């Protein structure tokens, strides 16, 4: 996730974006499920960076199945569970949530184990910038045999699940909401297209070196994350000892959730907080960044638990959005006039 690592994986991102463009061009004249296209692209970018593979062509059906399983995974995570409120009932699993979750997790673990088995048969994976890929490093840790540094296969699967779902969901959800909000606000969409015309010109392909100059599109992504944070309660925090914060006693080992969805819509911090206004981010770039140092805007969290994949997510979200709008800009321009 370092800048050096991300730069080493640039060709993976470039290749998957171009495959998405080719796929969309191949479906001219027929309906296109953009949701599936966006998910497959973000998913393939992630797994390419982890182990140099992807699910394109005939294997794309497996990618769609992964999407369905992932949506079930998210639904089970957020579904209210009476056993969480009354732990004495936990052994009974009254709503069947635990059994469904175990079945769901098993599907993901079987998927990752098939990838691992294939890697073991092929040997080492592709090298990036004279280094081993992430999966190869995990497998070496699994095989070390040192109790302090080795990890089990179950832990290996868990790490892969955390990274793949976390990296895919953030980008996929934000891209969908970004497109939705721009379609709801044609004036904002026109400004995005004008910026792309000025920076990209007659080219049909967006490159990553264009992204730092797409300031309005960056503001669109930030405003989308403000109104529609992909993790509304962030990841839970847990104090290692009982503490008192602002007069509230927080017991040791209790889960604490931060309602970033409500904070980023708070009228105390934001003017017209329910309105989609990317312009708010154009003049306050230093204050309202992704670093978590502004407590009215921290969609990726803050402090030591902040998301480690911010740079990657920002690249993917802007690159996919810019590519899609360049791809459809002629039709969008005509639509926006109506």
Residue bearing tokens 């040997």: 123
Per-residue pLDDT tens for 275-315? 999 999 987 766 678 888 888 999 999 888 888 888 889 99
Confidence of residue 62 (pLDDT cuts 50, 70, 90): confident
DSSP 94-131: TTSHHHHHHHHHHHHHHHHHHHHHHHHHH-S---BTTB
Domain architecture of the chain: domains with CATH: 3-337 (1.10.630.10)
Average pLDDT over residues 17-30: 86
pLDDT at position 188 is: 95
Asked if residue 226 lies in contact with residue 296, where contact means CB atoms within 8 angstroms, the answer is no
Q: How far apart are CA 53 and CA 12, in angstroms?
A: 9
Region of poorest pLDDT, from 134-138, 188-192, 209-213, 216-220: 134-138
Q: What is the residue-wise DSSP string for 185-246?
A: -HHHHHHHHHHHHHHHTT-S---GGGGGG-HHHHHHHHHHHHHS-SSTT-S-B--SS-EEET
Closest by CA to 9, choosing from 108, 128, 124, is 128
Q: Is the pLDDT of residue 64 over 90?
A: no
Confidence tier at 107 by pLDDT (50, 70, 90) = very high
- Closest to 217 (Cα-Cα) out of 258, 175, 262, 254: 175
Average pLDDT on 153-160 reads 89
Is the pLDDT at 102 greater than 50, yes or no?
A: yes
Do 160 and 167 form a contact (C-beta atoms < 8 A)? Answer: no
Instruction: Compute the average pLDDT of residues 127-149.
Output: 73
Q: Which residue has the higher pLDDT, 287 or 169?
A: 169
Note the pLDDT tens digit of each residue in 262-286: 999 999 999 899 999 999 998 776 6
According to the model, what pLDDT value does residue 129 have? 46
Task: Specify the pTM.
Answer: 0.86
Identify the pLDDT of residue 304: 82
- Is the CB of residue 186 less than 8 Å from the CB of residue 252? no
Burial class (CB in 10 A: 0-12, 13-18, 19+), 152: exposed
Does residue 86 carry a pLDDT above 90? no
């Amino acid at each position: 996730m370092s800048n050096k690592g991300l730069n080493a994986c640039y060709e993976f991102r470039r290749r998957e974006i171009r495959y998405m463009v080719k796929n969309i061009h191949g479906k001219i004249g027929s309906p296109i499920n953009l949701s599936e296209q966006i998910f497959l692209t973000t998913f393939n970018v992630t797994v390419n960076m982890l182990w140099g593979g992807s699910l394109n062509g005939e294997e794309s059906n497996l990618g769609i199945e992964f999407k369905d399983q992932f949506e079930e995974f998210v639904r089970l995570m957020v579904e209210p569970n009476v056993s969480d409120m009354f732990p004495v009932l936990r052994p009974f699993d009254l709503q069947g949530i635990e059994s469904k979750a175990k079945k769901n997790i098993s599907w993901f673990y079987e998927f990752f184990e098939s990838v691992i088995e294939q890697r073991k048969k092929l040997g080492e994976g592709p090298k990036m910038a004279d280094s081993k890929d992430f999966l190869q490093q995990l497998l070496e840790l699994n095989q070390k045999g040192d109790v302090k540094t080795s990890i089990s296969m179950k832990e290996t699967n868990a790490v892969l699940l955390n990274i793949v779902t976390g990296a895919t969901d953030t980008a996929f959800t934000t891209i969908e909401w970004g497109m939705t909000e721009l379609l709801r606000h044609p004036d904002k969409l026109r400004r995005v297209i004008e910026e792309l015309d000025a920076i990209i010109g007659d080219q049909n392909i967006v490159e990553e070196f264009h992204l730092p100059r797409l300031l309005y599109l960056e503001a669109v992504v930030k405003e989308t994350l403000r109104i529609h944070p992909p993790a509304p309660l962030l990841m839970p925090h847990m104090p290692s000892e009982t503490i008192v914060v602002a007069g509230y006693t927080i017991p040791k080992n209790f889960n604490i959730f931060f309602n970033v969805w409500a904070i980023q819509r708070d009228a105390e911090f934001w003017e017209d907080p329910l309105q989609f206004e990317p312009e708010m981010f154009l003049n306050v770039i230093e204050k309202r960044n992704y670093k978590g140092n502004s407590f009215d805007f921290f969609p990726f969290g803050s402090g030591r638990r902040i998301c480690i994949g911010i740079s990657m997510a920002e690249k993917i979200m802007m690159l996919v959005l810019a590519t899609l709008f360049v791809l459809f800009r002629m039709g969008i321009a005509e639509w926006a006039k109506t």
